[in-house]
Structure 1
Amino acid sequence: MRDLTLLFVSRGVRLFAYGFLSVVLVLYLKELGLSDGRVGLLLTLTLLGDTALTIWLTTLADRCGRRRMLLVGAGLMVLAGLVFAATRNPLWLLAAATIGVISPSGSEVGPFLAIEQAALTQLLKPERRTLLFAWYNLLGSFTTACGALVAGEACAAMQAGGAAGAAIYRPVVQSYGLLGLVLGACVLGLSAAVELPAHEKPHASTGRSGLGQSRKLVAKLSVLFAMDAFGGGFVVQAVLAYWFTIRFGVEPATLGKLFFAANLLAGVSSLLAVWLARRIGLINTMVFTHLPSNVLLMLVPLMPTFPLAAGLLFIRYSLSQMDVPTRQSYLMAVVSPAERSAAAGWTMMARSLGAACSPALAMQLIALPHGIAWPLYLSGVIKIAYDLLLYREFVHVKPPEERNA
């Protein structure tokens, strides 16, 4: 129980930090004098660096120790936050974005999720897996929402106190690095029970990839997840915050409240996903909730006022994340126990690679005279295509609990 609690606390601290930073990240970089193109490049390098870090640490986790790899990730989160707060030099910022752990989207990056999923699955009975992942994601959504809200209020307080330019946002960036220290303390408290048992250590045939019998299935899922993430990269939270700012002139405090409510809706919907998955299956739940959410996303730019656009975004968020706990549970169920960390790592890497290019493209499109709506349109179309392909390829590949039902 202690390890479960610490894994949940770790998740909460981390996602609070991600939500905290993502609301102000693009605004902070713009105040430092970076152009739209350079901001887009930095966001892309952030995601590429997170991708390399994820695959490196997750493929080592079941050999060298899960706790050790989580601690390395926490250290790189601290490093990135401190460098971003200390300099306005574009080269240093690009370097920190590449080797550190920063989330432009407010969602998971780095090795943490993959390793924690493997540890949680090991600590639980199969029939409790999806429910626990739902609560795990609800906690993440709630703390991301709280982070966004606190960041918005902190920036409003700085403005009221007379701060201007980058000084409005710098305390948020500094606090991000400090939260990395708290995360490291949580990792240090974990016991050996979260490590892979010695009799289940990866076989030599898995090689450096950490994958053996699950290799083909993971490769196919990785391609599809990369496609989904590429579409999602056009609407990461940092880009959406910037989009609302230039489209409707929304202030940081309002943005914080907007994403607080949106992430809270997304988290609560995770619990509904558990109920739905028990009745129609994991794959069906992933597809039949994701499809309508992407149609709603494409309608947001058509709204003439901020309240209407925000309302549609709330409805979209109430559906769009129902596939997250089901996707995580499905992956952990269909791969062998000794390959769970590596499988989660490779699929996360695919998602990170898929999402790496689209923020830069989104920023370039927004900068065009008539391009402001295109990131949302492209995201919706690509993600709908992903839903249809996922259903076609995996509707008949059942996890053990569904085969035995």
Structure 2
Amino acid sequence: MFQRIITGLDEFRGIPREANLLIYASFFNWAAAGLLWITLQIYLVLEGLSFATSGIILTIIGITSASSTLLFGGLADRYGRKRFVVLGGVIASFTLVLFALVGTNLPLLVGTGVLSGLSEAMYASSWGAMLADKATDAKRTSAFSLSFFISTISAAVGGFSASILGLLKNWYSIDLVTGHRYLFLGVALLSLLGPGIALTVSESRSSEAGHMGLRIIPKKSRKTVAQYSVAGILIALGAGMVIPLIPGWALLKFGVVDDVSAPILGGVNSLVMGFANLAAPRLARRFGTVKTMVLTQGSSTVFLFSLPFSLNFASASSIYVVRSALMMMSNPVEQSLLMGLVPPEERSQASGVTASLWRLPNSLSTSVGAYFMGLGGALYLALPFFLCTALYLTSIGYFWSVFKGVRLPEEELVVAVPTAT
């Protein structure tokens, strides 16, 4: 058992220093994001917004991110990725402060949501491409696996931090809304360490990028990106109806507030997802990149479908954690596949396109899911899960039909040079 653990950790040795710096810097960015994702909707509801209105704020964040990611992807490939990674992290910290201060003023909430979406777009369009450049082809899948491990552990810290809300209420008589504000301010300050570390990494820009005009749609890899995006859109539509709303769904179905639900749905869930990520490189090497994605996503969908039949929060949260772990195993493999199929000079553009075409439908369907859940009753609380399942299965089937014959160069290398036994 111990030897297997050591062998598994060998996957992550030899990742270049600057790639490691980017990965560890992301810990602080994801701590803020993890806290915001798991607590924002309940925080807004506790402040006095309706469930549907709080869902609209989440939608605004997503639509802004989706509509600007394409632009930032093109700018990053043209002018350099580092500045967008750093600026996105700084603005994300600032928006966490704003959410703590603006209260229920709807115009200010909308403006803060727009700013949050812009910061997400800057970071999402540049960070993955920059990591792929720094990691090199040989260690790309391992680097993405480690990065997802760090990000989910960081999100777990954000989720667990919500347990402070109960302590503040019981020990110091600080109500939940005020406690959320203190928590947002503290995590916002901590998250500034992320862009600070990223500043120490050298610029990442393809040697061909300086000779290209500003382009937001990749030219060489257009077909691959389009096929990849179709599968992503279907997943995004389904996920948007359910995943961002899980804490709110737990509140409506079981009456569980986020001082209880966040440490489990955000904390325990993220920890399990983080360790599940570490298995991704070994699975990809054993089964192949595409088969690994199909197997993990398909298994995850079974658990997702069963979630609305849960009788209590304990069983629901257990099912959700298993579902998330299986789904998360596919994420680093999925990112590595895209970066491996796209020329280095088009990686930010490809990241921008795929992120945008994932985020937009994901954000729009969040409002649909929030509307159904807000109607109440067993049927409407379950309906988004059933629609999500159908969309997931359609996406998995399409992805397999298009990419089943694809192998990355490093996979071919493994086949050509068998390891000693």
- TM score, norm. by length of structure 2: 0.88
Corresponding position of 1:159: 169
Task: Give 2:359's match in structure 1, choosing from 349, 352, 355.
Answer: 352
1:393 paired with 2:402, answer yes
- Segments of 4+ moved more than 4 angstroms: none
- In the alignment of these two chains, the number of paired residues is 394
Task: Give 1:363's match in structure 2, choosing from 367, 370, 383.
Answer: 370
Corresponding position of 1:129: 140
1:149 paired with 2:160, answer yes
Q: 1:175 to 1:53 in 2, by over 3 A?
A: farther
Identity %: 27
Corresponding position of 1:283: 290
Contact 2:221 2:342 (8 Å CA) reproduced: yes
1:68 paired with 2:76, answer no
Corresponding position of 2:259: 253
- Residue 182 (structure 1) shift: 2.5
- Residue 349 (structure 1) shift: 0.9
Contact 1:21 1:176 (8 Å CA) reproduced: no
- CA–CA distance in 2 between the matches of 1:361 and 1:30? 17
Q: 1:255 to 1:177 in 2, by over 3 A?
A: same
Corresponding position of 1:140: 151
Contact 1:59 1:345 (8 Å CA) reproduced: yes
The C-alpha deviation readout for 1:145-174, integer Å capped at 9, x for no partner, is 1210112x2211222121225213111222
- Residue 211 (structure 1) shift: 1.4
- CA–CA distance in 2 between the matches of 1:124 and 1:341? 15
The residue type equivalent to 2:294 in the other structure is: V
- Secondary structure of the structure 2 residue equivalent to 1:196: coil
- CA–CA distance in 1 between the matches of 2:34 and 2:93? 16
Contact 1:53 1:99 (8 Å CA) reproduced: no
The residue type equivalent to 2:156 in the other structure is: A
Contact 1:228 1:354 (8 Å CA) reproduced: no
The residue type equivalent to 1:146 in the other structure is: V
- CA–CA distance in 2 between the matches of 1:347 and 1:173? 30
- CA–CA distance in 2 between the matches of 1:320 and 1:171? 32
- Of stretches 92-101 and 281-290 in structure 1, the one that deviates more from structure 2 is 92-101
Task: Give 1:96's match in structure 2, choosing from 91, 112, 123.
Answer: 112
- Of stretches 70-79 and 278-287 in structure 1, the one that deviates more from structure 2 is 70-79
Contact 1:202 1:338 (8 Å CA) reproduced: no
The residue type equivalent to 1:285 in the other structure is: T
Structure 2 residue ranges without an equivalent (≥5):
1-15, 416-421
The C-alpha deviation readout for 1:1-57, integer Å capped at 9, x for no partner, is 552332112211111111122222111111222122211111100111122332222
Task: Give 2:70's match in structure 1, choosing from 55, 63, 66.
Answer: 55
- CA–CA distance in 2 between the matches of 1:383 and 1:111? 27
The residue type equivalent to 1:255 in the other structure is: S
- CA–CA distance in 1 between the matches of 2:190 and 2:73? 22
Contact 1:202 1:210 (8 Å CA) reproduced: no
- Secondary structure of the structure 2 residue equivalent to 1:119: helix
Corresponding position of 1:339: 346
The residue type equivalent to 2:25 in the other structure is: S
Task: Give 1:295's match in structure 2, choosing from 302, 307, 310.
Answer: 302
Contact 1:58 1:69 (8 Å CA) reproduced: no
- CA–CA distance in 2 between the matches of 1:165 and 1:255? 14
1:244 paired with 2:224, answer no
1:216 paired with 2:223, answer yes
- CA–CA distance in 1 between the matches of 2:96 and 2:259? 22
- CA–CA distance in 2 between the matches of 1:142 and 1:78? 19
The residue type equivalent to 2:28 in the other structure is: V
Contact 1:73 1:101 (8 Å CA) reproduced: no
1:173 paired with 2:184, answer yes
- CA–CA distance in 1 between the matches of 2:27 and 2:387? 31
- Residue 203 (structure 1) shift: 5.2
- Residue 78 (structure 1) shift: 3.0
The C-alpha deviation readout for 1:89-140, integer Å capped at 9, x for no partner, is 111101110132499xxxxx43324422222222234232111211111111
- CA–CA distance in 2 between the matches of 1:25 and 1:10? 23
Contact 1:266 1:321 (8 Å CA) reproduced: yes
Corresponding position of 1:106: none
Q: 1:9 to 1:332 in 2, by over 3 A?
A: same
Contact 1:18 1:102 (8 Å CA) reproduced: no
- CA–CA distance in 1 between the matches of 2:58 and 2:118? 9
- CA–CA distance in 2 between the matches of 1:380 and 1:203? 45
- CA–CA distance in 2 between the matches of 1:179 and 1:384? 39
- TM score, norm. by length of structure 1: 0.91
Q: 1:310 to 1:165 in 2, by over 3 A?
A: closer
- Of stretches 47-56 and 271-280 in structure 1, the one that deviates more from structure 2 is 47-56
